[in-house]
Amino acid sequence: MRSRRALVSVTAAALLVLASASTGVGDQAKAPEKTKWKIAGELEESCSCDAACPCWFGNKPTKMNCSGGMVVFIKKGNYGNVPLDGLALGEWIQSPDGKTMMESMGNWNLDHVYVDSKATPEQAKALQAIAADVLPPSPPDKRTFKAADISRKVEGKEHTVAVGTYANFSGHLMEGGDGGAPKIVNPPGADPMHHEYLQGITTRQTYDDGTKWDFSNTNYMYNEFTATSEDYAKFVDKMMKAMEKK
């Protein structure tokens, strides 16, 4: 119970700092109304931890740090009146050595966001705005944005994701004891997009953008999702209220 309270407290604190920075808490002027968005698609994710990644449960990574990335492939979506069908958004991060994911919020060793190169300038701006809502908290001066070709290939059970020349990972779902893939539901660190996901293992993952890594047989996650700006606003509000009860 103590670790659960600590996890919520650290998460909420990170969200509070970033919300204050983005909305100008303390200013007299009222923050402008945010644009509503909705996206539906598939989440592909891998990291350096042994499967299943313990970071989602408030525990330390199985290696010195958690190094990995996720890509959101949008089947259908919009940001206000801006259509986002067929676009993708990715992020690669690395936690400080010996820190849990929650302790790393806002203090990543790196935080690189990749915006689909197919996006128009208006769509790219929309994807960056959604990134601010759905990706782990990070101060603006620590997060970089780059345009990249983002692709995915599915051959049988193997999913391969490529982000330009920067990142590549392939993985497949595990086989559950009663058939099908293991499903993790409502882990303590879950945001709406990670409320549930299927558990797998990577064949290999590589990265080369400021730092390099090359891992095999590590954590892989997959999910089909629908998420909205309202979902994430409620998520932040819930975390804030949990912190107030401390």
What are the pLDDT digits (tens) for 141-186? 889 999 999 999 999 999 999 999 999 999 999 999 999 999 999 9
pTM for the whole structure: 0.88
What are the pLDDT digits (tens) for 81-110? 999 999 999 999 999 999 998 889 889 999
pLDDT value for 140: 84
Residues 129, 49: Cα–Cα separation, whole Å: 29
pLDDT of 205 > 80? The answer is yes
For residue 109, how many other CB atoms are within 10 A of its CB? 16
* Nearest one of 128, 49, 92 to 207, comparing CA atoms: 92
User: Which of residues 25 and 137 earns the better pLDDT score?
Assistant: 137
Helix 229-244 / helix 2-23 crossing angle, nearest 10 deg? 120
Q: Torsion angle of alpha carbons 188, 39, 172, 151, nearest 10°?
A: -140
